Amino acid sequence: MVKKVPVKVDGRELTLSNLDKVLYPDHGFTKAEVIDYYSRIAPVLLPHLQGRPLTVKRYPNGVTGQFFFEKNAPEHTPGWVRRVNLPVPGSTKNRESIDFAVVEDLPTLVYYANLAALELHVPQWRVDDDGEALPPDTLVFDLDPGAPATIVECCEVALMLRDVLKAEGLTARPKTSGSKGMQLYADWDCREEPSAYAKRLAQFLEKERPKQVVSVMAKKVRPGKVFIDWSQNNPAKTTVAPYSLRAREQPTVSTPLTWKEVEGCERPEDLVFTAPDVLARVEKHGDLFGRA
């Protein structure tokens, strides 16, 4: 029997369900705790979701069960959730456009948390007040380690990339992916097409440090190296949002970092942060991923 609990969040009425369902079995982390995390992290998370069409990964039976990506806002989405209709060329479902949700307030965030939307993914561009897509405002590099490389090696490459970006007049901000790797972000001024620009920088570092860096996706060339995924800047792609949970064995979070933490990383465990860890970090430091 589905247990339903009516609640009011900032004046919006919601019905929460199955709050005691365990979504992270290895840690006994329940749906109630997922909703609590997203509710408490909202002040620093929501600015990074503002105006960005949402893609979620939903895990209705927890992280060990089946999941699905969802771009289209569900039919039962409340009328007060902001939606924008955007073209999706090349859709696998042959749709010309999709009604994306845009998470801009606490009730919408709680609504999605209640759907077991553990992971929140957004593009590097926003929409305007009329729902029209704006030019990209963010450049992102996804650093993916090929075993036996880990996030320790990602940190080494991140420091190289930080210096390259600085020479280009861009200030990099690091965060963990919440999984194996990490990402670097920089505010983007549209000086050129972002994927082409990011690819050129990745290829430059690959040429400079061929034993550490690879810029191509082929798995066979990646063992022991860090793949700089420049393709995340394609307007059709999304990246996990800062402060989003990840569907790993434990409730890890894509966590903004200080450069001191990146410089001092000696073991992969040094940069693993769970939901409670991140709430404590934000309490202490505020949003480390604020605009540079």
d(CA 52, CA 131): 10
CA nearest to 229, candidates 271, 201, 189: 201
Q: What is the pLDDT of residues 70-90, one digit of tens each?
A: 999 999 999 999 999 999 865
pLDDT at residue 17, as a whole number: 96
d(CA 145, CA 180): 7
pLDDT at residue 90, as a whole number: 59
State how beta strands 4-9 and 12-17 pair: antiparallel
* Type of residue numbered 33: E
| Predicted confidence band of residue 91 (pLDDT cuts 50, 70, 90) | low
State if pTM tops 0.85: yes
Q: What is the mean pLDDT of residues 42-55?
A: 98
